[in-house]
Structure 1
Amino acid sequence: MVHKIPAGTLLFWVSLYLMVTTLQTLVPDEQKHSTRLTVSTFPTDIQTTAYTRAAQDCYEILVHHWCKYNFVVAMDAMNNTDWCSLERVKSAYNNFTVCTETVADCLLLPWPNRFVEQTFVDIHRTYFQDCPSEALSDPPLSIILALVMTPICLIPVMVVLVVLKTKNGDMRS
């Protein structure tokens, strides 16, 4: 199912993009780079300047009305039972991720950031909350014992080999 975007909407987003790129040219280079070169921790805090506040507002609008809209359309095209199938969901999910990252890059904003993290949490709460999750359990005791005892037994063997090798005076490997 192909969803057509009205011409007026497309014109709006193109105008918004041109306005933002014009704003980017008005911001001095040192200010652009100082806001871009932040230490990245997850989620990234955005240093607030007039430019970044406007870019963040624009980012939130674009993510909500473009990226998330396309994700919702893709998810609504599926049955609710398919939402828990990774094979069915991964394309829409990946497209949403790439879209949020691309828009952030275009606006010179760090990605990931708090807004996109919250958006992902909202998406998971809406679409994936009822999906069954496989509970992880400890492996059987025999596996744990084998994994623990193997290195413990190998250490004395390696020590004996090193001692015998150096005791004979043979330094060749």
Structure 2
Amino acid sequence: MLKYYCRNCFEIFSESMSELGKENWCIMEMVIRHYNQLTMCIEIVSNMSDCFYPNRVVEQQFVKIHQQYFSLCSNEEDLLDAPAGVVLVATLLPILLIPFIVYIVVWKSSLRD
């Protein structure tokens, strides 16, 4: 029964995505509103059907949606390597701070004696 009622949510999402155009399916800023509407619709339908949300049926439907619309999307451009200088500073700064902190602790403890 849940599958039947969720079909309306998926049809609305499919219409929105086709209006959006295939070239925009991987642009999160353009897709997120439609995706959120789909999520809310399915959550409402699940609650009206006295089903827990999320559940196995809903998860299977979302997997189908992701396979259909987002399987070709890649995040490679979002995962560029940090510049070498940033990596070097982020690595060396904690290493250089450790001896300084140890020195301060030893110095403070010697003042108390």
If the length of structure 1 is used for normalisation, what is the TM-score? 0.56
2:4 is aligned with 1:61: yes
Bigger shift: 92-101 or 125-134? Answer: 125-134
Deviation at 1:137, TM superposition (A): 4.3
Aligned to 2:21: 79
- Aligned residue among 89, 92, 113 for 2:34: 92
Deviation at 1:157, TM superposition (A): 0.8
Give the unaligned 5+ runs of structure 2.
Answer: none
Aligned residues: 112
> Aligned partners of 2:50, 2:104: CA distance in 1, in Å?
58
- Aligned residue among 53, 68, 88 for 1:111: 53
Deviation at 1:73, TM superposition (A): 1.7
Deviation at 1:68, TM superposition (A): 0.6
2:79 is aligned with 1:154: no
> Aligned partners of 2:94, 2:74: CA distance in 1, in Å?
37
State the identity %. 37
Residue aligned with 1:110, SS: coil
Deviation at 1:113, TM superposition (A): 2.0
Residue aligned with 1:77, SS: helix
> Aligned partners of 1:148, 1:132: CA distance in 2, in Å?
29
Which structure shows the higher helix fraction? 2
Deviation at 1:122, TM superposition (A): 1.2
Deviation at 1:132, TM superposition (A): 4.2
> Aligned partners of 1:77, 1:137: CA distance in 2, in Å?
31
Deviation at 1:63, TM superposition (A): 0.8
Q: What's the RMSD between the two structures over aligned residues?
A: 2.1
> Aligned partners of 1:71, 1:111: CA distance in 2, in Å?
19
Deviation at 1:153, TM superposition (A): 1.0
